[in-house]
A and B are shown apart, each in its own frame.
Chain A
Amino acid sequence: MSEIRPLEPIPSPLREQPDFAVPPALAAELDAVIARYPQARSASLMLLHAIQEQFGYISRQAVEWVAARLGLPPLNIYELVTFYPMFHAAPVGKYHLKICRTLSCALGGSHQLHELCCTRLGLDPRQHGPQTTKDGKFTVEFVECLAGCGAAPVMMVNDAFHEGVTPRRAEEILGGCS
């Protein structure tokens, strides 16, 4: 008789965050956001943005919390985290550098900018997806068009846009990240 051996469970890409707790003030703020919409589910992206701003990433607990707040199965929130490029399931660096990869910026030197940032920070310039330095300070990522094509190349450092980022300007920006 051969025995049926169960396979190993497939690990979830979501991280555990046992101490996840939304501060009451933020929770109240988010309830007000939900109330703006005729249907609560509409608020899901706004809630995920707020959670990510607060905690730096979206954990399993965060997905379940948002889902419960909106009266949805967690899957409906999880599928958003995997679909929308701005949401991340793992923490990113204190400084998240998003360099535009798309045509106008590439013509204006964005590949050189990406390479410069990676080399300066000890990361692999050949990698496309987000990479974080070992000390957790920087994440470098190539992203698609950031709507700054007239002042290429364009880079975002967290929420701030930097346009016309020459190598010298890039050194200044990196130097200013303490």
Chain B
Amino acid sequence: MPQEYRQILQHIDQPGYTPALECYLRHGGYAVLRQALALPPRTLPGGQVLSGPEQLRQEVMVSGLRGRGGAGFSCGLKWSFVDRKSGKPIYLICNADESEPGTFKDKQIIYKDPHQMLEGMIIASYANDVHLAFIYIRGEFVEGARILNRALQEARAKGFLGRNILGSGYDLEIHVHRGAGAYICGEETGLIESLEGKRAYPRIKPPYFPAVLGLYQCPTIVNNVETLCAVKHIVARGGAEYARLGTPNNTGTRIVSISGHVRRPGYYEIEVGKVTLGELIHDPAFGGGLREGRQLKAIIPGGSSAKVFKAGETFKLKRRGPDGKESVQEVALLDLPYDFDSLIAAGSMSGSGAIIVLDDSTDIVAALANIADFYAHESCGQCTPCREGSLWMAKALRRLTHGEGRPEDADYLAHIADNIPGGRTICAFGEACAWPVQSFVAKFRDEFIARGAADAKRRAASGRETAAPSGPPHPATAAALAQTPAE
């Protein structure tokens, strides 16, 4: 039986558990920080001496932790890239800009267990010789920012933060910085620009790798909320022990956000790769299956940027058998282990861990139109392919959802989408806006062509050869997406 493995969410939603420091302390809070600060230097067999912070970084490397924000990059490696010889201060930023459509996991931590996140952040800061850190929280989390500020005050008052933390001689200050409603601030270099008080225009890499030239052109680490919480658990268990959770190269636990057409939408923490996509959707412990009489149509497996899966797809994946031998096996969509590598091998990604389930009542053209409108709204406007392309795709999809489509719109959409990503833009937003269009159009091609053809036929019957101008922009894909909300 697949089950949740609640590590980060262990106390969240327990009756009586509050965001207050006193409650966190009653549940063993800040013991790991105490332990981390007290780590004595260790002498290796070769005579090399590892400081406490160096040992912590090594534990994170050994743990195999991969970033929980979206890219899934090794946290230990990210930390290892930090330029520690520049003589400049090193900054740490907690990315709490949670804004990938479908994702609502970090919000649970921020609102319900802020001290867990702070403890992870303080440990990560100590491990990286950081003395000033920021929490970049999305502007709409107004209450979240208040909760964090209160938690910071409590932590300062008890000596977990500020000067000479717990008598260790280590100083750290953390401040909350509020964004103001722009999705692009989730991109780490856009976030840094925003934290510098500018428009969130992502920076070009090279040379602006945050680990070398980040905030104020100083070495900077940007980690997701959940990633920083995981750091606390890695230090508590030891890196090797943490790596026993999950599956090889996909270690630990992660929180999956499930939304859309399932009976039990919500956030579920699993051992990475120990639960399949099908179980997450259908098992009573997770999504609980589709509504009565409905069939699965599609799954967006990792936030709206992830390429869509069509129900019934199968994939040829390399898998290691019990005898340790690798062989190519055919794996059905619902049998894909929910982890980083399997979803990439299947042509998509687990991204921010957000699964959006679409059943057979969904108008797939309208669903893509909805997603395309999001990206057209959120492109920062810096790079032409993304700024114009995201808008063109949204316009074409508006035509298709307002009776003004053409049969060739499917190819037109694919053509635009194919010309945005692949190094033509400064940041990965180019990929993020193109992937859904490429995958929806490729996998549901018949529906896109049929929609356009029906529109063309209707126009021909009414004596109108070409599509009329589409009129004032109007995103109401309402009729098409109409669902009766559950009471």
Contact = CB atoms under 8 A, between A and B. Distances in A.
Interface of A: 36-39, 41-46, 48-49, 70, 76, 79-80, 83-87, 98, 101-104, 106-109, 111-115, 125-126, 128, 142-153, 156, 159-161, 164, 166-168
B183 A144 contact: yes
Contacts, number: 179
B481 A106 contact: yes
A138 to B, nearest CB: 18
A85 B181 CA distance: 5
Contact of B103 (A70, A108, A125, A149): A149
B124 interface: no
Contacts of A83: 182, 199-200
Interface string B139-151: 1111100000000
A84 B180 contact: yes
Contact of A144 (B103, B197, B378): B378
B139 A86 contact: yes
Interface stretch (B12-20, B31-39, B324-332, B368-376): B368-376
B102 A104 contact: yes
A107 B101 contact: no
Given A83-B182, A101-B475, A126-B474, 15 more contacts: A38-B132, A42-B195, A80-B197, A83-B200, A104-B265, A111-B476, A111-B481, A126-B476, A128-B475, A143-B181, A144-B99, A147-B140, A149-B356, A150-B267, A161-B143
Interface of B: 89, 98-104, 106-107, 132, 138-143, 173, 175, 177-183, 194-200, 216, 257-261, 265-267, 300, 304, 354, 356, 358, 362, 367, 370-371, 373-374, 377-378, 473-478, 481-487
B30 to A, nearest CB: 23
Nearest to A165: B485
Nearest to A111: B478
B171 to A, nearest CB: 15
Nearest 3 CB-CB pairings of A with B:
A111-B478, A109-B485, A84-B180
Nearest to B479: A111
Contacts of B89: 38
Contacts of B474: 126, 128
Given A108-B485, A151-B265, A42 B197 contact: yes
Nearest to A79: B199
15 contacts: A38-B216, A44-B197, A86-B180, A102-B101, A104-B260, A104-B356, A107-B362, A108-B483, A108-B486, A109-B484, A149-B101, A149-B257, A150-B258, A152-B259, A153-B485
B177 A104 contact: no
A128 B102 contact: no
Given A49-B139, A149-B356, A144 B102 contact: no
A159 B145 CA distance: 11
A104 B99 CA distance: 13
A103 B196 contact: no
Contacts of A49: 139, 178, 180
Contacts of B143: 159-161
A150 B485 CA distance: 13
Given A103-B304, A107-B260, A126-B476, A147 B98 contact: yes
B257 A107 contact: no
